Amino acid sequence: MFKIILNNIFDTAIIGSGPAGFSAVLNLYARKKKIILFGNFKFSAIYKAKKIKNYLGEKEISGLELLDKFYNHINSVNIDHISKNVSQIFYNNEIFSINCDNNIYFSKTIILATGVSRQKNIKNEEKFLGRGVSYCATCDGIFFRNKTICIISYDKSQEHEIIFLSKLAKKIYLFFDYKKININTNKDNVIILQDTVKEIIGENNLVGVSFYDRNKILECDGVFIFKKSISPKELLSGIKINKDKSIKINKNCETNLSGVYACGDCAGGIYQLNKAIGEAQIAAQNAAKFLDKNF
């Protein structure tokens, strides 16, 4: 079940704990806004950079060292930080509801700073999203009570969702894309398959999945996919995307949705630190203006 966090309606929810998200935090904090930050800085693109030589004031620094400095700076200001991924954002009555790890948070504005989603979609994943394909066990698990489902897990940290689904579904075919699966369901309805799903199959309705290694269709009623990162379109329905899959913004970092801003790599190239940090400042200042005008 969802836990609704109602004691706080935040001014701005910042989705993404990379350089852009951190820069947005500082700029909104300076304007005395009530902020909540989501995401884990260890998944920032810069985490893996061995040598950075174009960051002003640092002749040479590793991505990890720089992120550590950023994170210490963010920790010195008093904000709420949930170091987990947001799975979906909804809009209703001028307030955004943010689903993160089965808790719901509320905010008046959103800044998307999610970086580039490097996770490729499975064929037909988008076609059946909301019509048999789901990213959220708690939201949609109930529709698959006593049914057969496939789970494709790319994210070890979401294994608890598999256990949750095993209590509802009749049968689960489980595919995973990391070294070792570690679930103990106490039930024999979970069949672990050492294979890779190639395509979600169906004309109008989802009927199953096919594999790379075998010429076979595995029939099922639904497919749950647990990813490390999801695309902006899947995160926030109705958001406009460019051809290169980046979020469409104007020079004020406004998206097509009122109260929603985007900055950094998720808003397209140049894919560089300084651009991400600067753009986040523009997004934050415009979000602050929007708040002052409308709330």
What does the binding site for ligand FAD look like in residue numbers (CB under 6 A)? 15-21, 38-41, 43-46, 48-49, 52, 54, 85-86, 113-115, 229-230, 235, 264-265, 271-273, 276
How far CA 207 is from CA of 15, 51, 131, 189, 246, in Å, comes to 34, 48, 11, 19, 31
Taking the complex as a whole, the smallest distance from the CB of residue 74 to ligand FAD amounts, in Å, to: 12
Taking the complex as a whole, the smallest distance from the CB of residue 56 to ligand FAD amounts, in Å, to: 11
Taking the complex as a whole, the smallest distance from the CB of residue 51 to ligand FAD amounts, in Å, to: 7
Give the chain's radius of gyration (CA, Å): 20
Amino acid at 114: T
How far CA 237 is from CA of 81, 147, 241, 253, in Å, comes to 24, 27, 11, 18
Structure tokens at 55: 């960051």
Residue 117 or 166 having the CB closest to ligand FAD: 117
Residue 48 or 240 having the CB closest to ligand FAD: 48
- Torsion on CA atoms 130, 131, 137, 143, rounded to nearest 10: 130
Taking the complex as a whole, the smallest distance from the CB of residue 122 to ligand FAD amounts, in Å, to: 18
Helix (H), strand (E) at residue 289: helix 273-294
Q: Which residue has the tokens 């790599």?
A: 265
Helix (H), strand (E) at residue 141: none
Taking the complex as a whole, the smallest distance from the CB of residue 109 to ligand FAD amounts, in Å, to: 16
Residue 88 or 148 having the CB closest to ligand FAD: 88
Residue 49 or 197 having the CB closest to ligand FAD: 49
Residue 20 or 223 having the CB closest to ligand FAD: 20
